Structure 1
Amino acid sequence: MKNSLKSSSAKAFFRNTAASVIAAGLIFSGLELIAPAQAASTLKANVALAKLPIKGRAPKTGYDRALFSDGWGDIGDCDTRNYILQRDLVSITWRSSPRCTVATGVLNDPYTAKKIYFVRGVGTSNAVQIDHVVAVSDAWQKGAQKLNSASRYSFYNDPLNLLAVDGTANMQKSDSDAASWLPPNRKFWCSYVARQIAVKYKYKLWVTSAEHDAMARVLKSCPNKLVPRG
């Protein structure tokens, strides 16, 4: 499967298949393809958590990010990374026309509560990184091995599972789950956990016992928290 994914024809197929899934959650605004404001959900995070299977972590054997996506996906003339920057940054300037590549912007970082000035370039772009809220290798060990290739591609590029965040915090998180890492900004814990639950619920992934308990502890402080829709 790994070899077939790396062939140009297979990659094109999976890009086209998953692009329609991703695009369904996006809207056009002029020349920009941007994510809509988070629609209200009716599903409580603690209810969704109760529906997630609890299992042990599977072996990491065979894991390769290329089994999900060979880099960021393309939708139209732009890429997923820049869509997320467009969604999460303010005071944006553009590097290209039609508007796609973000040159500069300001991130009100949810993980640290810091204001970060993004400037595209060598040595500066990494100040703002795109985090997979449910880490890719974590997903692999908790059910994604059983997903088909198009679903894994969709998971990797799904705006529901992506946030622009402080680069240092993202590196510290690495592939941790909620039992091992939560954002330094405690005010974001409920939203962070609810988003992880939403992603795992959507892609039929499981949680470990320790992960479940960590999520449940966070949600005790926000029992009416709804999962984001995506």
Structure 2
Amino acid sequence: MTAALAAALAFGAAGCVAADEPETPPSSGGGGSAGQKLTQLTVATAGSMKGYSRNHFPHWRDTGKNCDVRDTVLKRDGEDIRLSGCNVVDGRWESVYDGRALTDPSDVDIDHMVPLANAWRSGADEWDDAKRGEFANDLDRPQLFAVSASSNRAKGDQDPSQWKPANRSYWCQYAENWVTVKHHWRLTVTTAEKAALTDMLEGCR
């Protein structure tokens, strides 16, 4: 049984499935497509952190009775999920950033592919909180992933010129995902960020 199917069945058994419950992480498309999208991104210097607060990016959004986006991603990305109501209390996850196998939900973070603070410096400072909430809870783009807490915290708000996953085999997918998110939300990239993404996408060929 696939991880997505196991999660979906477990969620269904709990009786609190959201109508648009994702079964697999959204695809970022092929490397060529990501390369084309990268050329369309506006290059700009990173903006100021003045006024930034995670509270300007409301999350995790409710997705049903006692359900939220965090639990949705934990279910989607895990296997052998066990629930208490809609809360994930047990399961197995493989962190794509560092290859770690995890069995305790408390060791799992939900990472924003493009971090909230990076988005703020890339143009989200000009959005209202409603739009920032859409970004922070985006399940339609490859923006939210269940990864090890240690890798998520090592990444922080850094872009690919400053931090890359320890798992080099994920670099291609990581770059594709990053570009897909920034392209959809019309966020800018720095010169160094674009150069790093270009190098990472070379590995997709």
For the aligned pair, the TM-score class normalised by the smaller chain equals: 0.7 to 0.9
Runs of 4 or more consecutive aligned structure 1 residues displaced over 6 Å after TM superposition: none
Which one of 71, 75, 94 corresponds to residue 63 of structure 2?
A: 75
Corresponding residue for 1:185? 167
Corresponding residue for 1:36? 23
Q: Secondary structure at the match of 2:74?
A: helix
Which one of 57, 79, 89 corresponds to residue 90 of structure 1?
A: 79
Corresponding residue for 1:194? 176
Summarize deviations over 1:116-170 as a string: whole Å, max 9, x none.
Answer: 1124xxxxx1x11111110100100011012232211000111231110011111
- Aligned pairs (5 A) from 1:83-162: 83-96=72-85, 100-119=86-105, 125=106, 127-159=107-139, 160=141, 161-162=143-144
2:151 aligned with 1:169, yes or no?
Answer: yes
Summarize deviations over 1:21-58 as a string: whole Å, max 9, x none.
Answer: xxxxxx99743333133457477111111111000001
Q: TM-score, normalised by structure 1?
A: 0.76
Summarize deviations over 1:172-205 as a string: whole Å, max 9, x none.
Answer: 1111001000000000111111111111111110
Gaps of 5+ in 1: 1-26, 120-124, 224-230
2:146 is aligned with what amino acid? A
Q: TM-score, normalised by structure 2?
A: 0.85
Paired-residue identity, %: 33
Equivalents in 2 of 1:155, 1:74: separation in Å? 15
Tell me the matched-pair count: 187
Which one of 53, 57, 81 corresponds to residue 46 of structure 2?
A: 57
Alpha-carbon distance, 1:210 to partner: 0.1
Corresponding residue for 2:3? none
Equivalents in 1 of 2:27, 2:96: separation in Å? 19
Summarize deviations over 1:49-89 as a string: whole Å, max 9, x none.
Answer: 111100000111110111111x4111222101000001111
Could you say what the CA RMSD is over the residues aligned between the two structures, in angstroms?
Answer: 1.9
